[in-house]
Chains A and B, each alone.
Chain A
Amino acid sequence: MYAFTYHRPTTVRQAVGLLGKNEEAKLLAGGHSLIPVMKQRLAGPPVLIDLSKVEGLTGVEVGARSVTIGAMMTHSAVARSVELQQAIPALAGVPGSIGDPAVRARGTIGGSLANNDPNADYPAAVLGLGATIITSKRKIAADEYFQGMFTTALEADEIITKIQFPIPKKAAYQKFKHPASGFALVGVFVSKRGDDIRVAVTGAGANGVFRVTAFEEALRKRFAAKSIEGMTVPADGLNSDIHASAEYRAHLIAVLARRALADAN
C-alpha cells in the first residue's frame, strides 16, 4: 500500500473543503472497495478523508412518496430498517444479498454508488427505481448518474449525502449470485410507478448498469412476466469472462426479469 495521510472531518462542508485541497484525495466510507484496491496498489490516494464522523449522513426517512437513505448507512443497517421493509420491500432486500455479514456490517450505500462496480447490486436498485442521488452540491437523477464501469457523474469534490427513492407501486429484485464473491453475475430490478416502468440490469453490461427498454415497452400494457415471455436481450455488448459468456448473461437477464416480475405481482 502507498503511504497516505488522513483527515476525520465532522461536517460535509469540511469534507468538501478537504477534497478541494487535493485532487487526488479520496473519501473513505466503509472501505470495503477502497482498502482492497489500495492494498493492490491499484489506488494510491495520498490523502484519505474518513466520512465516519461526518454528521447527517445516516438514517432512513420514510415520507409519503419517497424514502431517503443516508449515504453512510451500512448494508446491514439498511437491511434491518423496518420502515423501509414496509415502504419498499424490494429495496430493503437488496443490501441483505450483498457479500457476507461482515461486509454488510461495514460497506455503505454511498460507497457502493460512488464506486459503481459493474457487478454491484445497489446500482440496479437506484436505476430500477428511478432514484435521485443527492450530493453536497446538487441532485442527480439515476438516468444521468451512472456513466459506465466505475464511472459516475460525481465531480472530484462532490460527496453523496443521501439517496432518495420514490415509492413504487410494484417492484422486485432478482439476483444470480456469483457463488464465490457474492456479487451479481446478473441482477435485474423491475418497478412500476404510474407510467414509469423500469427494468434495470447489473452485472451484464460492458458499461455497467443499464435499462432494457424493449422489456419496459412490452410491460406498458401489463406489468407481468407474461408480457415479456419469449423476449430476449441481444448478447452484443454484454460482458463475457471466465464466469459467464455474453450469451449466458443475456439468457439470465430474461429469466431474472421474468422471475422479478412474478415476484412483484
Chain B
Amino acid sequence: MAAVAMTVNGKAVTGDVDPRTLLVQFVREHLRLTGTHVGCDTSQCGACLVHVDGKAIKSCTVFAWQLEGANVTTIEGIADPSGKLHPMQEAFRDNHGLQCGYCTPGMIMSAIDMVNRKGNDLDDHTIRQELDGNICRCTGYHNIVKAVAAGAKAMKGSSAPAQAAE
C-alpha cells in the first residue's frame, strides 16, 4: 500500500491506497470529489485537469503517492466558500460555454491556469492554442473561447484567488 498525504482544496488529507491509484481516482473515489472527470484515461482530453502547486496537470496521468505534500485544487475548490461562483465559472454560465458539462471542470481549471500564465487579456488565437489539451464533444468550442476571454477579464477585477485558499 502507499501512504498519501496532501492538501486538497485547503484541507489536509491522507490515505492508504494501492500504489496504482491515480490522483483522479484518489480525488473521486477516496475523497468523493466527483467534479473532476475522466474523459479518456489516455492523457488526451483534459477533463481530469486539477491544479497541483499552482499548475494545471492531468490527474489521470500521475499517481497519488507522487504528490506527497502537494497542494491540490480541484473544481470544487475554486468557488468562494460563501457559494459565490469563481468568475471563470460565472463566465461559462453567462456565455453558454457548456452543453453536457462533462468537459467543463477541466476547461475551467485549464482556463484559470491560462490566466495565471498568460494574463487577463487573452485573444481568441491564444485561447484556442492553449486549450489544445481540452476536448469538448458538444459545443464546437466557440462559446468556450468566449467564456474564457470574459472570465479572464473578470478575474482581473475580482478578489477570486487563482487557486484555492490555503
Say whether A5 faces chain B, with CB atoms less than 8 Å apart: yes
Within the complex, the shortest CB–CB distance from B148 to chain A, in Å, comes to 13
Interface residues of B in 16-56 (CB under 8 A from A): 18-20, 22, 41-44, 46, 49, 55-56
How far is it, in angstroms, between the C-alpha of A218 and the C-alpha of B44 when the chains are bound?
41
The residue of chain B having its C-beta at the shortest distance from the C-beta of A32 within the complex is B61
Interface residues of A in 201-246 (CB under 8 A from B): none
B110 near A102 (CB under 8 angstroms)?
Answer: yes
How far is it, in angstroms, between the C-alpha of A99 and the C-alpha of B134 when the chains are bound?
11
B19 near A35 (CB under 8 angstroms)?
Answer: no
Say whether A31 faces chain B, with CB atoms less than 8 Å apart: yes
B18 near A102 (CB under 8 angstroms)?
Answer: no
How far is it, in angstroms, between the C-alpha of A31 and the C-alpha of B58 when the chains are bound?
11
A102 near B19 (CB under 8 angstroms)?
Answer: no
Complex partner residue of A101 from B19, B43, B62, B130, CB under 8 angstroms: B130
B66 near A31 (CB under 8 angstroms)?
Answer: yes
Size category, B interface: 20 to 34
Q: Known contacts A100-B132, A101-B130: does B19 contact A106 (CB below 8 Å)?
A: no
Within the complex, the shortest CB–CB distance from B66 to chain A, in Å, comes to 6
Q: Would you call the interface of chain A mostly helix, strand, loop, or mixed?
A: mixed
B65 near A6 (CB under 8 angstroms)?
Answer: yes
Within the complex, the shortest CB–CB distance from B147 to chain A, in Å, comes to 18
Mask: chain A, 20-32; 1 = CB below 8 Å from B; 0 = not? 0000000010011
Say whether B12 faces chain A, with CB atoms less than 8 Å apart: no
Chain A: how many interface residues by the 8 Å CB criterion?
24
How far is it, in angstroms, between the C-alpha of A102 and the C-alpha of B47 when the chains are bound?
11
What are the residues of chain B within 8 A of A105 when measuring CB–CB? 55-57
Complex partner residue of B114 from A52, A101, A103, CB under 8 angstroms: A101
A102 near B58 (CB under 8 angstroms)?
Answer: yes
Within the complex, the shortest CB–CB distance from A191 to chain B, in Å, comes to 26
What are the residues of chain B within 8 A of A102 when measuring CB–CB? 46, 49, 56-58, 110, 113, 133
Complex partner residue of A35 from B61, B65, B117, CB under 8 angstroms: B61
A-side interface residues toward B, CB under 8 Å? 1, 3-6, 28, 31-32, 35-36, 39, 48, 50, 52, 76, 99-103, 105-106, 181-182
6 contacts between A and B (CB under 8 A): A3-B18, A3-B19, A4-B20, A39-B42, A101-B133, A102-B46
Extra pairs beyond A39-B42, A102-B113, A181-B44 (14, CB < 8 Å):
A3-B18, A32-B61, A36-B61, A39-B41, A48-B19, A100-B134, A101-B110, A102-B46, A102-B58, A102-B110, A103-B58, A103-B133, A105-B56, A105-B57
9 closest A-B pairs by CB: A100-B133, A100-B132, A105-B55, A1-B20, A102-B58, A102-B133, A35-B61, A105-B57, A102-B56
